[in-house]
Structure formats: C-alpha cells, structure tokens
Structure 1
Amino acid sequence: MNAFATASRIATVRVDLPGRAYDIHVGAGLVAQAGQRLKPLLRRRRVAIITDETVAREHLGALEAGLAVEGIESVSLALPPGEGTKSWQGLARATEWLIEERVERGDLVVAFGGGVIGDLAGFAAAITRRGIRFAQIPTTLLAQVDSSVGGKTGINTAQGKNLAGAFHQPVMVLADISLLDTLPEREFLSGYGEVVKYGLLGDAAFFEWLEANGASLRDGDAAARLEAVRRSCEMKAEIVMRDETEQGDRALLNLGHTFCHALEAATGYSDRLRHGEGVAIGCALAFDLSARLGLCAQEDPSRVRAHLAEMGMRADLRAIPGDLPPAEALLGLMRQDKKVQDGKLRFVLARGIGQAFVTSDVQPEAVLSVLRDSARH
C-alpha cells in the first residue's frame, strides 16, 4: 500500500464506463461542497433529495446549505430509517413523490443516506419517467465503500434481498468521511465488514494494512479512514469497469454475501443482524469452507477471525442473538440467491487471502457442515 496523505485532501477515483463515466470524491467536508461539485451537472438549479429521518435530522440542513450557497434549490423526502423501507411500499412512495414534485428526466435526484436510501433512491430514479439521473452522497461507511459505487439499485421482496432492481449508474459520488464521526460504533463496524471484504477478495497487501491500521480507523483516525474508503472504492471501480452487470468478475464482490443474505432473511432483516455484520460472518464462513475443501491454508480462516475479533466484530452464527433456523433451512434460503445459476449455488471462495474466485462446484454437505460448526456453542 502507498502511504496515505493528510486527511484534509480530497481523493478522486474515476469509474470510467463508456458513456456513463463518473467520479467518486472521498474526503472531509464534501457535503458543504455539494453545490459546487453538483452544479456543473445540473440543467436547472434544482435537485430532489431522498433521505431518511435520522440522516435528515443530523445532516440535511448542512446539505441544503451547501446547495443553497451555489443558488441550488432543493426539495426533500425523508423516509423511515431501516431495511424495512427498502420495499415495494418505500419504492412507491419515493417514485410517486418524484412525480408529484415534477422532477424531470434532465433533473438530478440526490440519494443522501446509507445503503438502504442509496439502493431505493437509485431504483426510484431508474424507473421514474424511464430514467432520471442521480447522485450518491453516502452517509455510512458501508454505503461509502460499497453500495454507492457501481450502479446496483433495488429493493427487497418477500422472497429475498435485492431481488427487484436495476443497474443505474450515479453521475457522481461524494463520500464525506466527516459524516462517519456521527455513526454509532456498531454501524461503523458493520461498514467495516465490507472494507475487510476487499482485502480478502483481491488485495492481500490491503488486508495487511487493515490488520495494522484497523483499530486506528475504528477509533477515528481521519487519514486512515480516507485511505480505507479510497482504496475500497478504487477496488470496486476496477471490478465494475471490467464487468458492469455481473457477468463475471463482479461476482467476486459477493464474497461472504451468499451466507450473509441467507442470515439476513433468517433474522427478518432486523436489527439482530446488520448487513455488514452478515458480510463479516459470511467472509469467515467462506474461508472456513475454502479451507475445508483444501483450497487455502488452514491458517487463513484463523487470520480472518483474529482480525475480526480484534475489531470487536462477530465471525460466527452462534454470535447472532436469538434463535436461527437449522443449517438445512439456511441452505434453502441460499437457494433464493440471485447468483444461483441452473439451480446451482455459486460461492465466492478463496485460494488464500486476496485470492478469491467464483465456483459452483461445492457440495451441499460441505456447506451444511460449515454452518453447523459455526452455530455450535
């Protein structure tokens, strides 16, 4: 890893998709600069902000002021916080509000919140008037390093997570790391599950850097936070540029997610398990499965677990509060995953830290064994 510069700088990562290229800006103070940075993208000086009630209470005034200083008018919709908003009902409310506000194709929708708001607002923008441009201003670590980048938008359905959606790239992402200062530790660590994922799937040096700097990052070191967000966005951008619609390499970004999505469904998308917590557990289980299949060294899962433990994070099913369905039922939930092809589950496994790959060649009994061991007290 290159040494990172001072936290006062703004780092820019380019997502260079033909005809849909955009910049991800990472640094402190970007909400105050929102008007200056978004103004060149506007056909008229008006934006529609979709946020949630918690973010609105904490940060909406600052965003409105950052827009107003450049003469940009804004209207806003604040939805209830939480995964339950990422639903058909939430989508209907957001879409109808955009239509009621006469938001035009040439206007800009601003998704101002965490992953739920980014996914929902992006999907609403994608389908309203057959496509309105949108920008992401993510307010959580998870959204800054993952869901705001790459154009995946969507909602959950009764059958599973993110099963209705569209690929709709933002026109800009503003990842203001100063917003992370207001996150509760649990919310921050949930996002860290996605940061760890990047090192585990494709950059062993980044994982080593996280082992050395993770505690500082957790405890508020702004320079470390900037570097972690920048590198995570850079890795995601590189993969998205190679495979925008998840036909190949982009599936690597799902390391840990096949387990995670089943666990989220099993816990009712509730506060028992945050998405990033499920990703962290899923990464640990993916390395367990890889070691069990002889793909990676036995030391690799131990190293993953040791780092998660040092960060104060969960790594096993038994750490999830409340009862879980048996392993067979969890495997059934995995079969609803979007990555199922020809009825076969696709897993992201690893030949070592930083060496992930996608395979359908996994016997159900091996998965069941890993799940049972992880649940055993």
Structure 2
Amino acid sequence: MDTIQITASKTYQVLTGQGLLCQAGKLISAALPGKARKLCIVADDTVDRLYSKALAESLLKAGYETVKFTFPPGEASKSLDTVSHLLEFLAESQLTRSDGIVALGGGITGDLAGFAAAVYLRGIDFVQVPTTLLAAVDSSVGGKTGVNLTSGKNLAGAFWQPSLVLFDIDTMKTLSYDLLLDGAAEAIKAGAIADKELFAYIQQAPRLDAPETIRHLSQRAIEIKRQVVEADERDTGVRQLLNFGHTIGHAIERCSDFSISHGHAVAIGMVICSRASLALEWSKEDCLRPILSSLKKFSFPLECPYTAQELTAAALNDKKRMGDKITLVVPLTLGNCTLKTIPVTQLEEFIKAGLS
C-alpha cells in the first residue's frame, strides 16, 4: 500500500493499493478515531451494485452503522437538486456532527457528496473512495467540491478537505477503456505542468489497463497535486495550473451537452491550448508534439467537433473568468506551465489558433 500525506487546512492520507475496499472499515476507523459511529455511503446506481455491499460489510465489521443514498449516474445528477435530496436524507437519517459521509464512486459522486458534507450541519467529515481513475488522480484529492448550474460547470461549491482517500486499484477492473482514458488525461496534464519525465514513462509503459501503469500514473499525479494544493489550497495562485486544458475542455463538454466526457474533453483542450501557444509564440519550446504523442499512445480521440465561436461562447461562462478577462494555462516548456490572463475579446482568436 502506498501512502501520500496531504497537509492543507486538514491533514489526511491518500492510500493506494489493491484490496483496500475490504479493509475500508479498519482504515476509516484509524482516520476518524473516536468519531463517526454512523456513516452515509453515497454512490450512483451503477457503483452501488458493484461495490456498496463490500464497503458496507467492511464498515459493519469495524463497528459502524451505515445508511445509503443513491442517485442516477451521469452529469445531470451533479446538481443542487441532488444535493438537496442528499441533505434531506442525512437529516432524516439523523446524522450528527460526529458522523460522516463516504463518497463511493467517480468524480460526480465525490464532488456532490463532499459539497453536502461541507454544508450539512456546517461541516461533517467525509471520506473519498474513488472507483474511477479520473477521481483517484484528480477530484478526490484537494478539497474542491461542488455541482453544476444551468449556466455552467462547477459554479456552486465549497473547499472541504476529506479525512481520508482510499484508492483500491482493483476497482479499475470494472472500468471501460474510455473511463480509464478520462483518468489518463488528468495524469498527462499533471506531467505537462510539473513532470516532464512522465512523458518518457508513458512511451515505454505497458497498457493503460495494466495495474503497474495505473499505479505509476496515479502516484505521480497525486504527488503533483499534493504539491500545488499545499502551496495554494484556495486556488488563488499556483493551483490554477491544474486547469491546463480545462477552460476549453469544459467548453467542449458543455457544447456536447456532456456527451463528451471530462477527461476526453480535457485531452482535446490540452492539444488546442498547446497548439495555440506554439503558434502565438507563447511557448519556449514545442510542447505540442510530446503531449500529442502521449495522448496517441493511449489512443485518445482528439478531433474537436466545434468551432472557435461555439467554444468561446461556452467558455465565457467558465468560473475562471474575472470580469472582462480570463486566465489560461499555457505550456512554456514540457513540465512547466504558466498562467496567462487575456481579455475575453482575444479568446476566440486563441482558440482559432489552436484548432488550425
């Protein structure tokens, strides 16, 4: 079992290994000593059928009482409406400030369960148990929680750190290759901003679905995220580098009505941003080639079906916009990105350069 400690407003561990789900009760009990006698498992209907029973049995053996809240899978559930139903369920189940939530699933589950934990009784403990590679390498770590509004993605939320993150690599066995790609995109993003050696690893790595590949990519991505979260927990400076590919990626998601998944959209967003930065001479070296090569190694689909005008209209609702300016993450050299703030009137020109 690998351990990475995150030291932010709350200090907690990220545990990665195989067979951790069956040990969850013991591991959670160690992270919440003398607390949380009742835990609410939050999962979507798909993950519930796969893993809730094993988790609940492990929690029962550790002396916990459990209740369970489930919801339909998909981006449509990442809403204030779902959070409202979850909060009512927590109250009806009589969870107190000494109890907690266990988010079992992907990023949608972790984001909305974490948001509920942040606001229920003004804050209760929660544990992240990611069952997708995307959630394991990105959303389960760092304390960003939230839901979508009609106007855009992740526009309502709170910073609320988990008490523990448990990543059982065995849960990757039930993922489709497309879902593994979502996580790989975020790992490649982490390499682009802080670890050029990751690109050399990818070129000689086994298949993406090999446990050793998953372990290496996840550990490097989590370690990089640890560094930026500890330096900038509230996302006012260096943590914004984690948004490489995301402004355009979120626009792609929205244009597709979320039929293009987050990781796939971010992969396309990184390519567009790297190509535009190279064309506009913002980059000091060609970062596009190694990023493209790594994405193609894992067989990412990289065609963007939308125009610069369509993407610009969607991106103007991005939460990184500040008045008439928007901040982009651009690669200077491989493994070294910077923040560049431009007027929103220049965004379409930037995206055009990245599409050509």
TM band (smaller chain):
over 0.9
Query: Aligned match of 1:137 in 129, 152, 177?
Result: 129
Residue 45 of structure 1: CA displacement? 2.8
Aligned-partner Cα distance in 2 for 1:93–1:286: 38
Of all paired residues, the percent bearing the same amino acid is 36
| SS of match in other structure, 2:147 | strand
Assess, with a 3 A threshold, how the Cα gap between structure 1 residues 122 and 194 changes in structure 2: closer, same or farther.
same
- Name the CA distance, whole Å, in 1 between partners of 2:119 and 2:38: 20
AA in 1 matched with 2:256:
T
Question: Is the contact made by 1:334 and 1:345 (CA closer than 8 Å) also made in structure 2?
Answer: no
Which residue does the alignment assign to 2:255?
266
CA gap 1:35/1:370 in 2 versus in 1, 3 angstroms: same
Once the two structures are TM-superposed, the CA of residue 353 in structure 1 deviates from its matched residue by: 1.2
Aligned to 2:213: 224
Deviations along 1:212-234, whole A, 9 cap, x unmatched? 21xx24132x2232121111111
Q: Counterpart in 2 of 1:112? A: 104
Q: Report the equivalent of 1:201.
A: 193
Structure 2 residue 20 is the aligned partner of structure 1 residue 37? no
Q: Which amino acid aligns with 1:229?
A: S
What is residue 282 of structure 1 aligned with on the other side?
A: 269
1:91 is displaced (CA, Å) by: 1.1
Q: Quote the residue 2:337 is aligned against.
A: 356
2:36 & 2:163 partners in 1: Cα distance? 16
CA deviations 1:254-292 (Å, max 9, x no partner) are 0000001111111112xx301000111111111111101
Q: Structure 2 matches for 1:41-56, cutoff 5 A?
A: 41=32, 42-56=34-48
What is the deviation of 1:243? 0.2
Letter in 2 for 1:239: V
Give the aligned partner of residue 325 of structure 2: 344
The residue identity in structure 2 corresponding to 1:76 is: K
> Deviation of residue 298 (structure 1)?
6.6
Shift of 1:307: 2.0
CA distance in 2 between counterparts of 1:172 and 1:155 reads 21
Q: CA deviation at 1:297?
A: 5.9
- Residues 1:26 and 2:16 are matched in the alignment: yes
Distance across 2 between alignment mates of 1:194 and 1:158:
25
Distance 1:263 1:288 in 2: 16
In structure 2, the residue matched to 1:147 is 139
Q: CA deviation at 1:299?
A: 4.0
Checking the alignment, whether the CA contact within 8 Å between 2:36 and 2:99 is kept in structure 1 is yes
Question: What one-letter code is carried by the residue in structure 1 that aligns with 2:265?
Answer: G
Amino acid at match of 2:15: H
- SS in structure 2 at match of 1:345: strand
Find the aligned partners of 1:334 and 1:139 in 2 and give their Cα distance: 29
Between the aligned partners of 1:141 and 1:186, the Cα distance in structure 2 is: 11
1:370 maps to 2:349: no
- Provide the residue aligned with 2:54 in structure 1: 62
Name the counterpart of 2:7: 16
Does residue 313 in structure 1 map to residue 300 in structure 2?
yes
Q: 2 CA distance for matches of 1:191 and 1:23?
A: 20
> What does residue range 231-242 of structure 1 map to in structure 2 within 5 Å?
231-242=220-231
Q: What are the Cα deviations for residues 32-66 of structure 1, in whole angstroms up to 9, with x where unaligned?
A: 11011111305243211111100010111111122
Give 1:367 deviation, angstroms.
Answer: 1.6
Q: Higher strand proportion, which one? A: 2
CA contact (8 A) 1:32 1:63 kept: yes
- Distance in structure 2 (CA, Å) of the matches to 1:171 and 1:82: 25
The aligned residue for residue 69 of structure 2 is: 77
Q: Which amino acid aligns with 1:351?
A: L
Separation in 2 of the partners of 1:37 and 1:365?
A: 49
Secondary structure of 1:25's aligned partner: strand
CA distance in structure 2 between the partners assigned to 1:200 and 1:372 by the alignment: 20
Deviates more, 1:60-69 or 1:177-186: 60-69
- Structure 1, unaligned runs of 5 or more: 1-9, 319-323
- Long gaps (5+) in structure 2: none
The farther-off stretch of 87-96 and 359-368 is: 359-368
Secondary structure of the residue that 1:346 maps to in structure 2? strand
Q: Secondary structure at the match of 1:75?
A: strand
- C-alpha displacement of 1:76: 0.7
Tell me if structure 2 keeps the 8 A contact 1:95–1:128.
Answer: yes
The answer for the alignment partner of 2:182 in structure 1 is: 190
Matched residue type, 1:164: A
CA deviation string 1:68-119 (max 9, x = no partner): 2222221111111111100121111111111111111111110111000000
TM-score (norm 2): 0.95
Conserved? CA contact 1:217–1:225, under 8 Å: no
Q: Deviations over 1:105-161 (max 9, x none)?
A: 111110111000000000011111111111100000000000000000000001000
Contact 2:137 2:218 in 1 (8 A): yes
Which amino acid counterpart does residue 347 of structure 2 have in structure 1? P
Match of 1:329 among 310, 319, 322: 310
Contact 1:28 1:178 in 2 (8 A): yes
Equivalences, count? 352
